[in-house]
Structure 1
């Protein structure tokens, strides 16, 4: 295929605005997939994607399309829309020259719409604005068109109107992709180099890298001549097992020319040797010099931290291997080993958000058949110590002694909320209750409000998204960016069961809400710990001060049941012996907390 006839583009939008359905239409119109085999959201192949109806992983597919008897190669990358997976969007845009911005004609501009436009502009992409779902009775085509013009500066005539569901206007959109999006600018006769923008693991082929060839070409004779390739960031060298394209399934043995998107099976078994954002080149050309690394991606920083433990300790190696494989295709996932006296060996994992954490945990349980226990989500705190040193902590167990702490700082975010005007009261109240600082209120249109708040990240972690949906009847959307670390007055809340601190239940909380949170967790714990032969005390403590207490009464046993009669003194003697035994048990007894109790308390 001639380089000038190649078009690399991405589909970007807010969640549920119709990206994947539009991609299905493209596959049908171009004949990439036979109509008999087309299903709803064809590219969303992961079980969780089908079940939840959302795109989690970016997907790549090559299509053939003709305009005026001229053949074109269209490389489409379908992207996720949820804020937690925005890093996937950034990666896909780096491999494109253009982007289709999809906006739901019934919902209008949402938070991720704004975020994705700026990502595309930062990447210098040509944007084709598209109004989708124009077939709906509640579609407000003229109003949303006006919003797009006023918010982003698009011209009215360049905004296309389509219905991905019925197919109306989709062929015209493909024609515009060919017309408006520029061809890739690489140089065919320069040394070969390609950008890795996604990876996955194959049991037989090792690490498979999804690449965009920037200069030169990867020929199929690489395989027959056993030529070596080199990864410039990691320095790894391998003999590739296969080169090919995705349509959307892998088609083996297809050469990749300048500007084309495809895959290269590296043959490497060590997952760490192939990184997303790395540059892959021919080892023979690298050794001669003159092959420069392509600009990769800025390293993503996880926001939310959750400890994950296998319910059976002997499954720890399997959990480690599963996390290694998942982190290969999800470079925003970080993990490090940790151990707990109560829960055994596990991993402290970093995520971009709570949905990201839930998806990873579900994938670990389903795809790798693991039973897992996850702790309460937390964020990273920065601490200045009295000796002048700085440290950062992700768990309550790492919290230093209070006498050594000069200042604690927590992460703050800049939160953007788009909501219908009738719900603004409830949204403002929610943000104020969560320690938010209002920075901006804008009315882009009469019935739509854009709010900008500064908010502590920990407040977002604990059910903020669910409460936002609740107060706005599901219509509000949000997007956020990291802002900075700011001082905060937090304390370590310990939970004691029968006088022993249960480390996995410890957490960092605001000083002013510590007592309330202590009482809540003890009530939950009281409901799940089974009764013992003796009375068990549950306590919440800050330092040495007890701030809340609950008691679990002892298991009742009728020691007089075997007596059919007899003097009162005999009965009192038996009761006295029972009381002594319970006092002895209370002094020396240990309370075994079942795993299910941890699961119930940590989950809620």
Structure 2
């Protein structure tokens, strides 16, 4: 299919604004899934995602839509997590797209994560289509949301599409907007292969699988590829896409989004944001702008009940194959024995890791209280050490010149009735107020610098 008939887009939203439901409706409307296959939150494949009603891992689905202009378009929907702990996954998904549906709940209005994801999309230069969702709710206030779209995001409120993913309202308008407003991908199938990895998972039969977006070139089984950050090379065994079932194809070419398997034994070799190219004819420059995921919160995980240290180690190794964002190293505690110091993106990520270790890998664990990294500068030597574990903190305070702790800039969007309580809470947590403005008569925007601890 020619590139001008391809559209790559994602859906970005605050938690619970109806993202996974909209993805389901798009799949149904385009006939990608049949009535028989219908189930809520089709793209949330982990049990824990459906239970908590959140999206953790991304999925990238291919569907075909026959537009009103008579042409059939190939659409790649990249689903993204909405929770702040997983914002690094959002940035990778955005790099694989040309456009984004910005979903806003008609009763809740614009919330903090909406703003954060909006700016990420603007940084990636994406075409943004605002969609006001849940217009069927009795508490929906469409005029207020349109005003917020104009005042907070600076977008034209007339361009916003009114929809209810639950009731199936506005779905055709959304698909028409994707086709007409989002530009087709640029790319040349004859240039050297250049593809970005935006997600990965482990399949026990074919090894680690990478989800990729091809910018240039073609990719087919038998090709020898190189991962640019490590220089490691592999032979491609299969390529394909999710439709939403995993479906093999003969090749992927420029502009496509799909998966590749290349008998890669360890998912840690597949670095999210890395560039894939051909071994024999490599591209000169990798895709810019990606950093490895950085843990923000650390906790000790120890075996409990009849679980052994070895069983916990095996479970962590297997789990890390599916989640490149965690780091772990062995540690011991006088009270709990041998265990691991594990780094997470945030507290929700930590809860999910604990739950998946117990549920999917059958180990019983004890988790210590979480803490952040402190940076200690020593007197006399000037040496700076990073302390991830309270036990490693220097005993002699006289040898410490100063201690630094991680600070975060937080944005809070709240109805004005709660401002007093929120300011009090922020001050109790050692917050420093940086900004306070009224977005409209009822909504306040606060900015605070606060210690991450």
Q: TM-score range by the shorter chain?
A: over 0.9
Alignment partner of 1:200 is 2:201: yes
| Structure 2 equivalent of residue 10 of structure 1 | 10
CA RMSD of aligned residues (A): 1.5
Structure number with greater CO (CA < 8 Å, separation at least 6) is 2
- Structure 1 distance, partners of 2:346, 2:268, is 24
Given the alignment of the two structures, is residue 55 of structure 1 paired with residue 50 of structure 2, yes or no?
no
Q: Is the 8 A contact 1:12 1:79 kept in 2?
A: yes
Asked whether the 8 Å contact 1:271–1:325 carries over to 2, the reply is no
Instruction: Answer whether contact 1:200 1:325 (CA < 8 A) is retained.
Output: no
Aligned to 2:144: 143
1:394 aligns with 2:388: yes
Does residue 263 of structure 1 match 2:259?
yes
Q: Give the Å deviation of 1:362.
A: 0.6
Aligned to 2:131: 130
SS where residue 445 of structure 1 aligns? coil
**C-alpha distance in 1, partners of 2:250/2:93?**
22
User: Where in structure 2 are there 5+ consecutive unaligned residues?
Assistant: none
| SS of structure 1 residue aligned to 2:168 | coil
Contact 1:275 1:328 in 2 (8 A): no
Q: CA deviation at 1:141?
A: 0.3
Q: Which structure 1 segments of 5+ residues have no match? A: 459-604
The alpha-carbon distance between structure 1 residues 322 and 240, as it changes in their structure 2 partners (threshold 3 A), is farther
Q: Look up the match of 2:357.
A: 364
Cα displacement (A) at 1:341: 2.8
Q: Does 2:230 match 1:234? A: yes
Cα distance between partner residues in 1 of 2:313 and 2:413 = 40
Question: CA offset at residue 312 of structure 1?
Answer: 5.8
Partner of 1:283: 279
Secondary structure of the residue that 2:308 maps to in structure 1? helix
Map 1:329-478; keep pairs closer than 5 Å.
Answer: 329-387=322-380, 388-402=382-396, 403-458=398-453
- What TM-score does the superposition give when structure 1 sets the normalisation length? 0.73
Higher-helix-fraction structure = 1
1:32 is matched with which residue? 32
The residue correspondences of 1:508-547 to structure 2 (distance < 5 A) are none
Q: How does 1:149-188 map to 2 (within 5 A)?
A: 149-188=150-189
TM-aligned CA distance change 1:360 to 1:19, over 3 Å: same
What secondary structure sits across from 1:285 in the alignment? coil
TM (normalized to structure 2)? 0.96
On the 8 A contact 2:416/2:442 being kept in 1, the answer is: yes
* Secondary structure of residue in 2 paired with 1:284: coil
Match of 1:252 in 2: 248
Check the 8 A contact 1:129/1:158 in 2, yes or no.
yes
After the TM superposition, which residues 200-219 of structure 1 pair with which residues of structure 2 at under 5 Å, given as runs?
Answer: 200-219=201-220
Q: Is contact 1:234–1:274 with CA below 8 Å preserved after alignment?
A: no
Change (3 A) 1:382 1:251: same
Alpha-carbon deviations, 1:383-442, whole Å to 9, x = none? 111222111101111011223222112111111111111111211111111111111111
Q: How far is 1:4 from its partner?
A: 0.9
- Whole-angstrom distance in 2 between the partners of 1:115 and 1:270: 32
Q: Displacement, 1:62? A: 0.5
Is the aligned partner of 1:45 residue 2:38? no
What secondary structure is seen at the aligned counterpart in 2 of 1:440? strand
Alpha-carbon offset, residue 296 of structure 1: 4.9
1:23 and 1:333 mapped to 2: Cα distance?
Answer: 28
Indicate how the Cα distance of structure 1 residues 436 and 145 shifts in structure 2: closer, same or farther if over 3 A, else same.
same
Distance 1:227 1:143, change over 3 A: closer
CA contact (8 A) 2:307 2:364 kept: no
- The corresponding residue for 1:104 is 105
CA contact (8 A) 2:331 2:338 kept: yes
CA contact (8 A) 2:272 2:292 kept: no
CA distance in 2, matches of 1:313, 1:41: 36
Judge conservation of contact 2:375–2:384 (CA < 8 Å) in 1. Answer: yes
Going from structure 1 to structure 2, the CA distance change for 1:243 and 1:318 (only over 3 Å counts) comes to farther
Larger radius of gyration: 1
Aligned residues: 450
Matching of residue 300 in structure 1 with residue 293 in structure 2: yes
Provide the rounded CA distance (Å) in 1 between the counterparts of 2:228 and 2:318: 21
SS at match of 2:202: strand
| Cα distance in 1 between the residues matched to 2:291 and 2:168 | 38
Query: In 1, Cα distance between the equivalents of 2:301 and 2:240?
Result: 37
Q: Does the 8 A contact of 1:306 with 1:350 survive in 2?
A: yes
Equivalents in 2 of 1:310, 1:147: separation in Å? Answer: 49
2:306 and 2:452 map into 1 onto residues whose CA distance is 32
Query: 1:248 and 1:162 mapped to 2: Cα distance?
Result: 23
**1:158-198 deviation line (CA, Å, top 9, x unaligned):** 11111101111111110000001111111111012211111
* Residues 1:190 and 2:191 aligned together: yes
Q: CA deviation at 1:108?
A: 0.3
Is contact 2:327-2:344 (8 Å) kept?
Answer: yes
Asked whether the 8 Å contact 1:243–1:253 carries over to 2, the reply is: yes
